[in-house]
Structure 1
Amino acid sequence: MAAPRTARAIARAELTQQIKDEALRQLGDAGAGELSLRAISRELGMVSSALYRYFASRDELLTALIIDAYADLADALDAADATFSDPDHATPAATGTEPAAQAAQAERWATAAVTLRDWALAQPHRYSLLYGTPVPGYRAPMETTVPAERVMLAFFRPLEAVALAGDPAGDVADVGLNAELRAAGTLLGPHIGPARLAAGVAALAQVIGFVTLEIGGHFHGGFEPADALYAHAIEALTGSLGLVD
């Protein structure tokens, strides 16, 4: 049994969250490049030296915000995927290699794509922190990779399910790329063949690219809202993954 939290620990956790909340407000107003610990301490009525006891630098605070954002997005994706991955709720057609089973995995992949876009449109400043323009002078540490992988896995679980059912797809022609894909597959889906894994990486890149363009205002005056265009793109991508004809 975990030891009860002390009043000091609770107070520290609450103030840490206040710092993060103020940082997120700054992100929404001015972007990550303008994030300032001094400005945060001023808004919270703290001396800057006190804030540095919580986050030693701007980069440390950025890392915490990135990890939180990846975790929040991954939680949303996992929740959306629950009806597909829970045997008590999955439809009988959700397994196997027959067309109905393939279609179920296509729907599962499409649900992840819709969930990612919905999350991004609801909090574009956090999405931009993950997939937008890199923050000058900031290099994300390795500790951000695990929560980032959780997001990616939501898009590869349907491909792994299809592969496990007996349709792994084949290799790609480039020998070097084939080896890279097999290495990546140890994380993303060890049973996914290199050809489908490559298609999965490309499809996820297109999803992120679409949403990034939309958040950046590049569809204004042409496709606004971009719901129908996004639905069309998702349908095409599930076809490129070999999940639908």
Structure 2
Amino acid sequence: MTKTPRELARARTMTEVVRIGRAHLVTEGAAGLSLRAVARDLGVVSSAVYRYVKNRDELLTLLVVDGYNELGDAVDAAVAAAAGGFRAQFDALAHAVRAWGIAEPARYALLFGTPVPGYEAPAERTTGPGTRVIGRLARILDDAYRAGRLAGPDAPTVPVPESLRSDFAAVRDEMGLSVPDAALARGVLAWAALFGAVSFEVFGQYGTSTFGDREGLFGLHVDALAELAGLSCHCCQVK
């Protein structure tokens, strides 16, 4: 459906609001965002910006959704371009998350850092974009499982507590997965550890001189997480 000139103008303004909000995240941080400052940079009086964004929380939500979607787009593109099978897709996903986080530390902090005081992201707007990466990771593992190329651990599997079985079943139903509980548990750990490794680097938790080759260190982590998830090199390639 063709948009009216007014709708097009509004869409352009909203794009500018998000662009300015991104810039202010870098200079002011999420807690310091101000609609008055956004209005100033937009070139309108402060009251006019409320026609587009009703309050600071609305601006934060726009930035959260924008960040999740840009990260999701980067991951989807990297996985689609990966050649070599399920392990290559996992590696591509992991390195895309790291690359985006390093390139966009302020936006990464908004998504995965300390919660903004007084702000609670609305689930109906942020859950879909916010689960794109874990959804993509789950599909890689599930596709490998369906193809018979998801390895089990060498050591006996730790039993999944009965208290978690209904949660895992709900995750499988929601995402349309087939992987058993033990494999799903390993996938959740790989997901949490991947973002933990990226967060340590983005937020400077390693210090300034502990590891000289951060990319090499991350590569080691990705190799270990792939093995943990069941994507060992000998069984996860597409033949």
> Which of residues 127, 137, 140 is equivalent to 1:155?
137
Contact 2:146–2:178 (8 Å) recurs in 1: yes
Tell me which residue corresponds to 2:30: 32
CA RMSD of aligned residues (A): 1.9
For the pair 1:223 / 2:211, whether they are aligned, the reply is yes
Alignment map for 1:126-141 (pairs within 5 Å): 126-141=107-122
Contact 1:171–1:178 (8 Å) recurs in 2: no
Contact 1:77–1:116 (8 Å) recurs in 2: yes
Q: Take 1:35 and 1:224, find their aligned partners in 2: how far apart are those partners? A: 35
Report the alpha carbon displacement of residue 186 of structure 1 after superposing the two structures with TM: 2.0
Q: 1:48 to 1:174 in 2, by over 3 A?
A: same
Q: Take 1:118 and 1:77, find their aligned partners in 2: how far apart are those partners? A: 10
Q: Take 1:57 and 1:81, find their aligned partners in 2: how far apart are those partners? A: 37
Q: Specify the code of the residue in structure 1 equivalent to 2:22.
A: L
> Which of residues 194, 212, 223 is equivalent to 2:181?
194
Contact 2:35–2:55 (8 Å) recurs in 1: yes
Moved more, 162-171 or 56-65: 162-171
For the pair 1:19 / 2:17, whether they are aligned, the reply is yes
Report the alpha carbon displacement of residue 46 of structure 1 after superposing the two structures with TM: 1.4
Q: Take 2:105 and 2:213, find their aligned partners in 1: how far apart are those partners? A: 15
Q: 1:123 to 1:225 in 2, by over 3 A?
A: farther
Tell me which residue corresponds to 1:173: 160
Q: Specify the code of the residue in structure 1 equivalent to 2:14.
A: T
Identity of aligned residues (%): 38
Higher relative contact order (CA 8 A, sep 6+): 2
Contact 1:19–1:40 (8 Å) recurs in 2: yes
Tell me which residue corresponds to 1:184: 171
Q: 3-state DSSP class of the match of 1:200? A: helix
Q: 3-state DSSP class of the match of 2:187? A: helix
Report the alpha carbon displacement of residue 167 of structure 1 after superposing the two structures with TM: 6.1
Aligned length: 226
Q: Specify the code of the residue in structure 1 equivalent to 2:105.
A: P
Contact 1:172–1:194 (8 Å) recurs in 2: no
TM-score (normalizing by structure 1): 0.86
Residue ranges of structure 1 left out of the alignment (5+ in a row): 85-89, 92-103
Q: Take 1:77 and 1:187, find their aligned partners in 2: how far apart are those partners? A: 21
Report the alpha carbon displacement of residue 16 of structure 1 after superposing the two structures with TM: 1.3
Q: Take 1:122 and 1:172, find their aligned partners in 2: how far apart are those partners? A: 40
Q: Take 1:172 and 1:178, find their aligned partners in 2: how far apart are those partners? A: 11
> Which of residues 106, 123, 136 is equivalent to 2:104?
123
Report the alpha carbon displacement of residue 145 of structure 1 after superposing the two structures with TM: 0.2
Q: Any idea what the Cα deviations from partners look like across 1:62-100, whole Å, max 9, x if unmatched?
A: 11111111111111111112145xxxxx66xxxxxxxxx
TM-score (normalizing by structure 2): 0.88
Q: Take 2:32 and 2:212, find their aligned partners in 1: how far apart are those partners? A: 29
Q: Specify the code of the residue in structure 1 equivalent to 2:200.
A: L
Alignment map for 1:5-154 (pairs within 5 Å): 5-83=3-81, 104-142=85-123, 143-154=125-136
Q: Take 1:199 and 1:49, find their aligned partners in 2: how far apart are those partners? A: 51
Report the alpha carbon displacement of residue 35 of structure 1 after superposing the two structures with TM: 0.5
